[in-house]
Structures are given as structure tokens and as C-alpha cells.
A and B are shown apart, each in its own frame.
Chain A
């Protein structure tokens, strides 16, 4: 049987490339530049709607914070001994979301899963901004925000240092490390794209990109260094990401409060973090895809892969969640058991059950391809999953503080005040604002990596076709007839 080259090509594509058909390998490279740089210029009107709404929300948070700053934390309706509330819960939530960005990017990079390439840039940016948002909560939460720098280990004439035994200081160190490392990772990965921006921008923007691109020219030496650096950074960031949320979990696991003092917290927190991070990546995926017209790059198959990953994370989380309940139940620790029963039956019970439903039952919807490929459904679903994860954090913080070791001080009636809700809402505004601004200023899809992706796909295909052509027997087996 003799085939034309083109026929062979089609056959090869069917045989080898089908699974990888998540992006059209034949997009012109110049078009990639054009498409993605267009996101810096003229997004859809929805961008401005989101931006203005976010700013308004942010201002709500700011005014609440000013009020709280002036009056004292009492306005948040926190009390003794229910001293932590939505601030800490939302802090963990934001930190958690920050995990998937860099962790996913690094992990998939190391594993050479090239479908990460269109989505990793905004995920990493998301990480950076969620960390900034989370850091904001640490400050908002403090009684004396004006003295937050006491946590920082800085030399001073009084020879005072932070208490390095405190999980909060580990937190500060871990988050500081994670934030700066993520920023470095994001920035270094962005240099080739900044060079593209520089080459295409005019006016004052050119100056900015000129400065930021550091004179990148894409020489082979630069690329060689770049490759090694990027891989090395990825190797560091993966364990870092895992350690950060483990350390955040020690804030609770290392304390004596029943419901906090749980050995399985570090993996549980990491799983929850990845879970909610994936959910937010899906949310932002859909938002960016629409806002910046990225349909050709952020394709449905990639969304599906994300959804499958989310499902896996959800199952891991569910497992660890059940382990937590089980170990508490069988651990026969009276305090923890009572706290668990209180969570399931007390004032917070509706939220607790909702958390379990959203976190463990709802993800089963992701088992259906129809759900995974339906963009509006995925948008709603991802937001709901994330809400579930937020509830999880709140259900860790509040009910146990309301129902701790000491029965005299049980405090069942605490409910966050508008100040707490306002600042939580403001954090969304703050994050959205920063994130949208970022996407407007920097390419939110990595152009050079998409090109690499296309290049690899094409060379792979070329190689296979060449093999096919030179080996007719394979071609027959390849099912040309079909």
C-alpha cells in the first residue's frame, strides 16, 4: 500500500497526537504574539466591569479596616476566648489557593507535562497575589497592626528577636520565602516574554518592558542558563510549597486546642490547598479565556485536564478529612470528640455539613465529561468548590474555639460582624484588582512556552510521519484503511 505524505500525516495525527489534541499545533508563531499581546491592549468590556467592581469591594474592605484600626478589634465581634475568626480562616484559604499556582507549575514542569504551558503563567501570578492577600490578613488580624514588624527578625539595639519557637514565626518565614521565591520563579519565567513585549511595545510601556526584560535576546547561552535555572527553581519550589502549608497547619496542629491538635493536619492542609488552588485556577481560566479572548490557547481539553486533577485532589482531601474525623472519633480524646460533635450538631452545623457536601460530594460531578467541558457549569462548580474549601477553614477555626477544652468559656453565640465580612469581601476586591491589573500589564499566557509546545508537537509529528513513510509496515498497522 502506498500512501501520500499527507495521508500519512493525517494517520499519524490520529494515532499519536489525538490525545494531545489540546491545542492547534499549526498556529503561526507571529499570531501567538499578536493574540496574547492584544490582552495588554484591548480586553473585553467585562475586564473593566470586574476591575471597577473589585476596586469598589476593596474600598469596602479598606473602610472596615480603618474603622477597626480606630476602634479596636472588638468591632469585628471577636471575643474571649473566641479570639480568631474569619481573618485567620480566610488567611489560610488564600494561602492555600496560592499553592496550586506555583506547585502545579513546578510539578508539571518537572514532569514535562506540556499542557501546563498556556496556564502556568497566570497561575503563578495568582499565587503571588493570593499570598499578598493572605499576608494582608495577617496584618488585619493583629491587635496592634502598627507593630507588626516585631515578628520580623531584624537586629536592634534592644537585642529583641521574634520567638522562633512560634509557628507564627515559621509561618512568616515560610510565607516570606514562598512569596519571594514564587515571585522570582514568576519573574524569571517571564523574562523571554517581557522581551517580546519590549520588542512590540511603544512609548512609556516600552521603557518599562525594556527595564524589566533586562536585555534578554534569546541567545543560546541565555537559553541554556535559563533552562537549568528554571528547572532548579522548580525543584526547590515543589517542596517549598508543600512545606509552607504544612507549616501553616502547625499553627493549629502544634496548639493544644481540641480540633486543632491533629496529627494529620499538614497533609490535610496541603491537600485542601491544592484542591482550592485548582478550583481557583479553573475559575480564573474561564474568566481570562473570556475576558482576553484566549479561546485558542486555553482550550477545553486543558480545562478537562484541570478538572480531572481537581477531582483527584478532592478525593485526596476527602480521604484526609475522613481520616481526621475517624482519628478524632476513635482517638477517645474527650475534648476533641466533644468539639467534633459540636461541629456536627452545634450552631455551626449547617455550615459544617455544607462544607462536607461541597468538598466531598459535589466534586463527583467532575466525573462527567459533560460537566467538565461545559464552561458555565465549570465556572459555577469551581466557585462552589472553593466556597466549600473556605467553609472548611472557617469550620476549623470557629467551632473549636467556641467549644474548647474549658467548658466555662464555651462561647456559642459568636457571629462575625460586618467588619469581618467587609474585610473578607475587600480581600476579594484586592486580589481581583491586583490580578486583573497584572493580566493587563503582563502577558498572562507564556508566549514562548506556547511556541515551544507547538514546536514540540510539530517536530514530534514530523518525526513520526518520517518514521511512517520510511516504514510502510508500520503504516499498514497504523490503520491507514480505517
Chain B
């Protein structure tokens, strides 16, 4: 809290984040920026990711009554949309959309948390600190994707009747009533991989660590990795699809499928979706 600190580093503190070079292999600030690419054309809507997330992240099963009231705690959900101008039948199938926290670079949820329980980590994640959270739920109000889930009930006391609690993943907590939670890109796995890499004086290799949903996905529809590393698959895909993390309007060829959802709200999501393709002549 010293004034000297303030004066010495003023320009650093005044720099808007993310700034060019914040995520850079050569700079000291951060060598990681986790990102995803999700191909909607090969996502089959099978929900394997959802269940994997339940298993990995200690998500409570809330039961029918509570599901009805909107208390479902699925950090990743599969949405199913019909076409707006559908005839008698949905003749071109349906649209599945796996929706999880988009780990926005300019996350609307982060700025509004009164206690700073949700912040931007150095590796570009939108973190959620359960211990700090007081449950004002402002983040959820401000989340355009509505992917934040609040613990309205004390699930630890009801959701895992013995011995189901033995299944719980000890790498992360179960959340008590009154805190907000959301997809973390399986930060417990990322941190483990990062520390392992650090002890070996290297960076995390591409594919060395993936979130549970990516790992489970039977069609490999989700690609995950460090977008800072130009050799990583996810960075190549973003580049190939001409989607720039820092732009709110992409200048890309119309044949390219990459896009980010609700980009016009300028949250700069870290998840790039790839458009569903339909053979219109079929």
C-alpha cells in the first residue's frame, strides 16, 4: 500500500488488460492463455462432457424438484435449438450447443463482484474463489451466457448420500450453500500440469492436459490448449479460422467457420465455436 509502489508502477497499473504481449512466450508476464475450439459440426449432443464434468468437478445431483426450479448445477450444458423457420418437421436436424463458461478476456462478471471473488488469472482464466464469494450473485446477473451456477442449497449435506461421497474428487472442494460456481476449464488439472512442467523447466506440452469434457468427448469436438504457443493445435485452429482473441468483430473469409458467441457484447470469449455445417442439397 505504499505510495512509492503506486508511483513507480503507475503506467503498469494503468494498462488495460488484456494488453498485447500480456500472453507471450517471450515476455515474463504469462506464457499461458488457455483457450478452446469447439466444432459444432461434429458435436453430436451426447452429453458425455456433461457427465464427465459432474465426475471431475464434484457437481451435485440436485434431483427432479430442484432441477425444475432451475437449480441444475451443470457447468457445461448441451443446448438444443430448432431452426426458427422450421416446417412441419425439423428436416435439417437440430442444433446442439455445448455451453460452458467462456472464460472471457473482458469478463462482465469479473468487474462487478463486490469482493473480488472472481478475477482474471495470469493464464487467462476467469477464476472463481469460493472462499471469498459472499453470494451477491451479481456476476450471474451480468453474465450474458448465464453459465454461472449458484448454490442455493446446501448440497454437500444432501447430494452425496454415503458412500457416494467417496467418489468426490479431492483436488477440488465441494461447494457449500451461498457461493457461486462455474466451469473452471478444470483448473485443478491445469495447475497440476503447470507445476509439473515448472519442476521440469519446460512449458506444458500441447495435449498434456485437457479438461474432463475435452477428454471424454467421443468425437473430439473440443480442442483445448495454450493459445500462446503457436505450435499448439488450438492456436493453429484459431489462426486458421481467422479468429483473433482481441477483436470484437472478425474479418474472416465467409467460408471459415470460426466465431465466438455474443461477440457483439465485447466479452472476448476464450472459446471459439466452429459453425455447424449442413448439406443444404441433402
Contacts and interface: CB of A to CB of B under 8 A. Distances in A.
B113 interface: yes
Contact of B115 (A71, A163, A167): A163
Interface string A381-416: 000000000000000000001001110110100100
Interface stretch (A250-258, A343-351, A458-466): A250-258
A479 interface: no
B178 A79 contact: no
Contacts of A256: 108, 142, 144, 265
Contacts of B148: 80-81
A405 B180 CA distance: 20
Contacts of A142: 134-136, 178
B154 A151 contact: no
Given A72-B152, A79-B152, A143-B151, A150 B132 contact: yes
Contacts of A405: 144, 146, 262, 265
Interface string A436-458: 00000000000000000000000
Contacts of A79: 69-71, 152
A147 B177 CA distance: 13
Given A71-B153, A80-B146, A172-B114, A144 B138 contact: no
A384 B184 CA distance: 48
Which of B134, B148, B180 has the most chain A CB atoms inside 10 A of its CB?
A: B134
Contact of B66 (A74, A172, A411, A414): A74
A73 B154 CA distance: 9
Contacts of B133: 143-144
Interface in B42-87: 66, 69-72, 77, 79, 81
B161 to A, nearest CB: 18
B177 A163 contact: no
B111 A143 contact: no
Interface string A140-173: 0111110110110000000011110111110010
A414 B262 CA distance: 25
B116 to A, nearest CB: 4
B121 to A, nearest CB: 15
Nearest to B138: A168
A74 B153 contact: yes
Contacts of B151: 72, 143
B29 interface: no
A439 B66 CA distance: 46
Contacts of A147: 134
B221 interface: no
Query: What band does the interface of chain B fall in when counting residues whose beta carbon is under 8 Å from A?
Result: 35 or more
Given A73-B152, A142-B178, A255 B113 contact: no
A148 B142 contact: no
B149 interface: yes
A54 to B, nearest CB: 28
Contacts of B144: 256, 404-406
Nearest to A144: B178
B34 interface: no
A150 B113 CA distance: 11
Contacts of A177: none
Given A79-B70, A80-B72, A405-B144, A169 B114 contact: yes
Contacts of B136: 141-143, 168
Contact of A411 (B70, B99, B114): B70
Interface string B19-51: 000000000000000000000000000000000
Contacts of B140: 80-81, 83
Interface in A57-111: 71-74, 77-84
A163 B111 contact: yes
A172 B177 CA distance: 23
Nearest to B111: A165
Contacts of B72: 80
A255 B142 contact: yes
B146 A73 contact: no
A72 B151 CA distance: 8
A156 B50 CA distance: 40
Interface string B177-221: 111100000000000000000000000000000000000000000
Given A73-B177, A143-B179, A168-B114, A148 B134 contact: yes
A406 B101 CA distance: 13
A143 to B, nearest CB: 2
9 contacts: A72-B154, A81-B146, A144-B133, A150-B115, A160-B132, A168-B112, A254-B112, A401-B141, A409-B146
- What are the 5 tightest A-B residue pairs by CB atom distance, in nearest-first order? A143-B135, A143-B178, A74-B152, A79-B70, A72-B177
Given A73-B178, A144-B133, A151-B115, 4 more contacts: A72-B177, A78-B152, A163-B116, A169-B114
